[in-house]
Structure 1
Amino acid sequence: MCGIHVALSAIPHAISPQLKQCLCNRGPDYFGQEERRVGGINSPQSWTLTFTSTVLALRGDHIAKQPLVESTSGSVLCWNGEAWRVGGHPVDGNDGEGILTLLKKASAFAPAARHDAILDVFRSVEGPFAFVYYDKPAERLIFGRDRLGRRSLLFTHDEASGTLALCSIAEASDPSWKEVEADGIYILNLAQLQQHAIPATHERAKHEWLSSDQADFISSIGTFNKSLPSANSALTALSPSVGMLKQQLLDSLRPRVLGIPQPPSTSAGETRVAMLFSGGLDCTVLARLVHDLLEPDQAVDLINVAFENPRVVAQLEKEAKGDEPIDFYEACPDRITGRKSFAELERVCPGRAFCFLAVNVPYSETLAHRRQVTSLIYPHNTEMDLSIAYALYFAARGQGSCSSPSSGRDSPQEPHTSSARVLLSGLGADELFGGYVRHATAFSRQGYPGLVDELLLDVGRLGKRNLGRDDRAMSHWGKEVRFPFLDERLVRWAIETPAWEKCDFGNGEDVTGVEAGKRVLRLLALELGMRGVAKEKKRAIQFGSRTAKMESGRVKGTTLLS
C-alpha cells in the first residue's frame, strides 16, 4: 500500500503540507520524490513532472523505496497495490520492483511492439492496484486502477494554472478532484503537448483491460453464466460448488494472509492480520478459514465497531424499565451478532488467539472526526457515503477493548490497539452469491430469469463499487484492506457458475435450515461447524453499527453533505 501523487505542470509543483501528511498517513514507512522535465530546447514549452510516493511496506524482506526508477531509461513508476500474480504466476518478493523489471523488459521491444508490451504488463496483473508510470523514452504518462477499482486514484485538471495532477487522495481545499474510472488503462502523450495546453481529461487515450466479443463479459474477467436449470435440483452440502468455493477462498486467502512482514517498530509476535468483523456470514467464514492457514501462534484481531447514535439511544432510554443503565454499544445489532459469532469461532478454532476488539465510538468523537472523514471520502459526498465511511474509518483505527478467548462480555476488558496493518473484508460475497433482498425479490417476481438478470447487473458493476472511497477512509491509519471475495480467479469462477449452484431460491429454506440467499456460502459455514453463522441475515454496515441517521430518521442516504 502506498500514497502516490503525480503532477504535470508548467513550473515545478510542490504539494501542500496537509497533502503530504495525508500521503504519509497512508504510507508511513518511506517518503520519496522524483522530478522529470518534458520537452526541451526544440519545444516551445517544457513541462515538469513531479512524482511523490509514500510506502506502507507489506511485501518482500525490505522497504522498496518509491518512486521506483528504471536506471537505464529514467522511466518512473508510482505503484500502489498488490500484484498477487503476474502472467498467471505468483509474485515473490516486492511486487512493485517486480512490475518495474517487467516494464524494463517490455521497453526493450521494437517500437512497433513496445506500446502493447507495456500495456500487457499491467493487463497481466491479478490483484488490487493503482499506478502512474512515466514511459520516458516515449514521453507517455500511463495510469489507471485495477479492473475492480479496489485502490483509489483521483485526478484534477486546472486550466488556469496549467496543472494536471493524479493522487491517491484529494486535497481538502480543491473541489475539482474526480475518480479515475476503473475501466481501462489511460495514456497521455506528453510529446504532443502544446504550449500551456495540457489536454483535458476526456482527451486521454483509453485502452481496454481486455477486449472480447463475448456477450456478458464482466469486468474484463469472465463471461457470466446465464443458463437456467432444466429441472429442480437442490443445492446441498454435497454439491460440487460448496467444495469449490472453499478451495477458491483458501487460494485467495493464502497470499493475502501469509508472509506479511513484521511491522517496523513493533515487537516480535505482534498481530499482523485483522478482520472487519460484524459477525455476519461473510467475514466469519473468512476468519474460520484464516485459522486453517495461519501458524498456530499468530493472533487475529476481530474488529467490531459500535456507535453512540443519539436518535437510537433516546429511543432505548424511552423503552427502558427501571434505573439500570443501558449499554447502547452492546445493544448495537453488529455487536450482538459479533459476540455470538466470536463464541462460535472460539468453539471451532481451539487454540487460536482471537481478540474480539470492541470499538466503541461516542457521538462526540464521531463529530470531532467528521471533517477528516468527509475530506478523505471526497469526491463522494452523500450521507450514505459518510455513514459507511465512519464505520470503516474507526474500525481501521483499531482502538478499543479486547476480549480474549474464554472471556465473556462481563469479564474485565483490556484496552487494546490493533498492530495489524492488513485488514480483511468480506465485501463482494453478496453480489457474487445472491445475498441482497433484491435478489430474492427478483426471483419471486420472475423466477430464475429475473434472478440471473439481477445478479448480472450486480456483478457487472463490481468495478463501480465505491472501493476507492473505502480505501481512502481506511488507509488513513496506515492500514491496507484486502478483499478475498474479489480475487480475480474467485470472481471468474463465481460468475461462470450457474445461479442455482450459488443461491438456491428454487427450493426456499431447505432441510438444512439455511435460507436460499448465498446458500453456497451458508452450506460452507455448516461444513466448517458454524450453524449459527450459517443462519445469519444480511445487514448493511451503517445499520449494524448504527452510523446511519444519527441526527434524524428522515435524512435520505442520497442527501448531499453540507
Structure 2
Amino acid sequence: MCGIHVTISPSNPPPLGQDLERRLRNRGPDHLGTVHARLYDAPCPLTLTFTSTVLSLRGDHIAKQPLVDDETGSLLCWNGEAWRIRGEALETSSDTEAVFEWLLDASRRGLVLEALRAIEGPFAFAYFDKPSKCLYYARDRLGRRSLLVKTGDHLTLSSVAESPSDDWIEVEADGCYKVDIGHAQSLHQMTPSRHAWVEDDSLVLGIGLFNTSLPTELSRLCQDSLSVRQLHQHLVKSLETRVLGIPLPPGASNSDARLAVLFSGGLDCTVLARITSEILPPGQSIDLINVAFENPRIASQHRGHSQEELYELCPDRVTGRKSFAELLKTCPGRLWRFVTVNVPYTETRAHRGEIIHLIHPHNTEMDLSIANALYFAARGDGSALVAAGSGPQPYQTTARVLLSGLGADELFGGYGRHGVAFSRNGYAGLMDELKLDVSRLGKRNLGRDDRVMAHWGREVRFPFLDETLVKWAVELPAWEKCDFGSRATGDSNLDPEKRVLRLLAQSLGMPSVAEEKKRAIQFGARTAKMESGKVKGTTSISH
C-alpha cells in the first residue's frame, strides 16, 4: 500500500500541507520520496512533482518511490499489487520495480497502453513516459485502490484529498487515462483521454462475459455440485496469492500476526479465514478483528445494561464469537486471536472529522457509517482472546495485511434485493441486478474503503475480487450461484442467497456459519443511525 500525489503546474507547486503529508505517510510509513521534473521543450513549460509514500510488503528491500529511469527520465508512482502480467504470476522480489521495467520496455516499442492492460491486481498509479511526454494514470478495472483527480490551475492526482472540496473527483475504474503534456498549449488544454481496459464493451469490468442464459431444467445445488468445488479451488488460488510470503512487520517476532481478517463472523469472512488456515504455515497466527460500537440510540433502549454488555449485544459481536468457536473446532492447531475492538461514542465523535476527510468525495450518512466500522476495525486496537474461555488481554494487531470478504454478495447474489429481483422477474431479473452490482463495485465501495483502511498503514486485500475468480463467477449461470428457483427439501435450512458459498462452508465443517444471514456492516457493528433513527443513508453528511 502506498500514497500517491502528483502535480502538474506552470510553476513550482506549493509543498504538501502538513495534514496531507501526514495522511500520505500513514498510508506508506516505510518511505517518503519526492521527484521534480521540468519540461522546457513543450509549448507550455511545466513542472511535474511526483510524491510517493511506501508500505513495503513484497521483496527483501524497500522499493523507494517515485521510481526514476536515469536514461529516459520516466517516472512511476505505484500503489498496489501486480499479481500477474499477461496471465503469468509475477515471480519477483518487487512488483513495483518489475512493473516499471515492463513499462519502460513497452515505451521503447510504443506499447504503453497495451502493457498496462496486461497487468492484473489491485492498483492505482501515475506514470510519466518522458520520451512521449505523456502522463498515464488509472485505477485497476475493479477499482480496488483509491485515486482522486482535481483540475484547474494545477492538474493533481492524489490517493487522498488535500481538503474536502467539490473540486476532487474519484478517477473512474473504467480504463486508463492519458494526458498528452508535450503538445498542449496550456494546462487547460490537457484533457485526459480515456482508453478502455478492453475494446469489447460486452465484458463486465473488462473481465468476463456475463452469463445471461436461462435454465431449461434445474437441479438443486449440493455440496457435490461442480460450482461448489470450483469455488473452493478458485478461493484457494486467490488466497495463496494474497496470504503467502507476507513479511514480518518491522520489529515483530515470529509469534506476531502478519495477517488479519476483518471478521464479523459472517459467511464470507469466516470461509476466507477457514481456507487461509489451510494455506498458511502452522506456526503463523491469524487475527480476527471484530468491531462493535457504542450507539447512543441503541443504548437508550437498553438502560439496564453496562457499556461492556452493550458491545457484547452488537449483532456482529454475537456472530463473531459463535464463528470463532467454530474455527477453533475445525482448525484446532492454528493460533487464532479474536480481537474485540470496542469503540465508545466519544471516540467515534473525536475521529468524525478525519473520517469525513478520508472518504471524500463520498459524503452520505451511509458512507460515513460504513467507513466508521472499517476505520476502527483497520486500526485493530482492542483486546485479544486466543482460546474459548480464556480472558481477553489488551492488544493491537501487528498485521499489515487485512483480508476482506467484499465482493461475495455482488458475485453470488447475497443481498435481499437479489431475491426481490428474482420474485419479480425470475432469473432474468436476478441477472440484471447481479450485473449492475458487479459493474459498480469500484464506484460505490472500493476507493472509499481503501482510503479509510490504508490510513493505518495496512493493505486490505479482497480474495473474492481476484480477476480469475471474478471472470469465473460472472460467466457462471446464476442458478449455480444462488438457486432461488429450487427451494424444495434437503438442505432447505440454507438460504438461496450465496448458496454456493454456504455449501462450501458446510463442506469445510462449519454448519453454523453456512446458515448465517446477510447483515450490513453498519447494522452489525451498530454504526448506523447513532443519534436518530429517522436519518436516511442517502442524506448528505452535516459537518
Tell me the TM-score range normalised by the shorter chain: over 0.9
TM-score by length of 2: 0.97
Aligned twin of 1:310: 296
- Contact 2:164–2:361 under 8 Å retained in 1: no
- Contact 1:149–1:465 under 8 Å retained in 2: no
Counting matched residue pairs gives: 539
The alignment partner of 1:485 has SS state of helix
- Post-superposition Cα deviations, 1:331-356, rounded to whole Å, max 9, x if no partner, equal 00000000000000000001101100
Q: CA deviation at 1:284?
A: 0.2
Moved more, 7-16 or 135-144: 7-16
- Post-superposition Cα deviations, 1:511-552, rounded to whole Å, max 9, x if no partner, equal 122111100000000000000000000000000000000000
- Contact 1:280–1:338 under 8 Å retained in 2: yes
- Contact 2:381–2:396 under 8 Å retained in 1: yes
Q: CA deviation at 1:455?
A: 1.5
Q: CA deviation at 1:174?
A: 4.1
- Contact 2:35–2:50 under 8 Å retained in 1: yes
Moved more, 10-19 or 475-484: 10-19
Moved more, 171-180 or 420-429: 171-180
| Aligned with residue 150 of structure 1, among 144, 147, 166 | 144
Q: CA deviation at 1:172?
A: 2.3
Moved more, 262-271 or 27-36: 262-271
Aligned twin of 2:442: 463
Q: Within 5 Å, which residues of 2 pair with 1:458-497? A: 458-497=437-476
- Contact 2:164–2:360 under 8 Å retained in 1: no
- Contact 2:5–2:50 under 8 Å retained in 1: yes
Aligned twin of 2:409: 430
The alignment partner of 2:500 has SS state of helix
Amino acid in the other structure paired with 1:31: L
Q: CA deviation at 1:175?
A: 3.9
CA distance in 2, matches of 1:330, 1:251: 35
CA distance in 1, matches of 2:134, 2:306: 68
Q: CA deviation at 1:557?
A: 0.6
- Post-superposition Cα deviations, 1:481-540, rounded to whole Å, max 9, x if no partner, equal 000000000000000010111101112264122111100000000000000000000000
TM-score by length of 1: 0.94
Find out whether 1:205 has 2:196 as its counterpart. no
Q: CA deviation at 1:325?
A: 7.6
| Aligned with residue 357 of structure 1, among 304, 321, 339 | 339
Specify every segment of 5 or more residues in structure 1 that has no aligned partner in the other structure, as ranges.
none
- Post-superposition Cα deviations, 1:455-491, rounded to whole Å, max 9, x if no partner, equal 2222222332321100000000000000000000000
Cα RMSD (Å): 1.4
Aligned twin of 2:211: 225
- Post-superposition Cα deviations, 1:82-111, rounded to whole Å, max 9, x if no partner, equal 0111111111221110001111211222xx
- Contact 2:164–2:357 under 8 Å retained in 1: no
- Could you say if the C-alpha distance between residues 124 and 325 of structure 1 is closer, same or farther in structure 2, counting changes exceeding 3 Å? closer
- Contact 1:509–1:515 under 8 Å retained in 2: no
CA distance in 1, matches of 2:34, 2:361: 26
Aligned twin of 2:520: 540
Aligned twin of 1:194: 185
Find out whether 1:83 has 2:89 as its counterpart. no
- Post-superposition Cα deviations, 1:375-399, rounded to whole Å, max 9, x if no partner, equal 1111111111100000000000000
Aligned twin of 1:101: 101
Find out whether 1:25 has 2:31 as its counterpart. no
- Contact 1:402–1:416 under 8 Å retained in 2: yes
Find out whether 1:345 has 2:331 as its counterpart. no
Q: Within 5 Å, which residues of 2 pair with 1:386-535? A: 386-405=368-387, 407-408=388-389, 411-508=390-487, 510-512=489-491, 513-535=493-515
- Contact 2:9–2:48 under 8 Å retained in 1: yes
The alignment partner of 2:174 has SS state of coil
Q: CA deviation at 1:306?
A: 0.1
- Contact 2:144–2:447 under 8 Å retained in 1: yes
Moved more, 528-537 or 262-271: 262-271
Amino acid in the other structure paired with 2:446: L
Q: CA deviation at 1:194?
A: 1.6
Amino acid in the other structure paired with 1:393: Y
Find out whether 1:171 has 2:162 as its counterpart. yes
Q: CA deviation at 1:366?
A: 0.3
The alignment partner of 1:456 has SS state of helix
CA distance in 2, matches of 1:132, 1:402: 40
Q: CA deviation at 1:39?
A: 2.9
- Could you say if the C-alpha distance between residues 502 and 369 of structure 1 is closer, same or farther in structure 2, counting changes exceeding 3 Å? same
CA distance in 2, matches of 1:452, 1:108: 44
Aligned twin of 2:132: 138
Find out whether 1:556 has 2:536 as its counterpart. yes
- Contact 1:86–1:124 under 8 Å retained in 2: yes
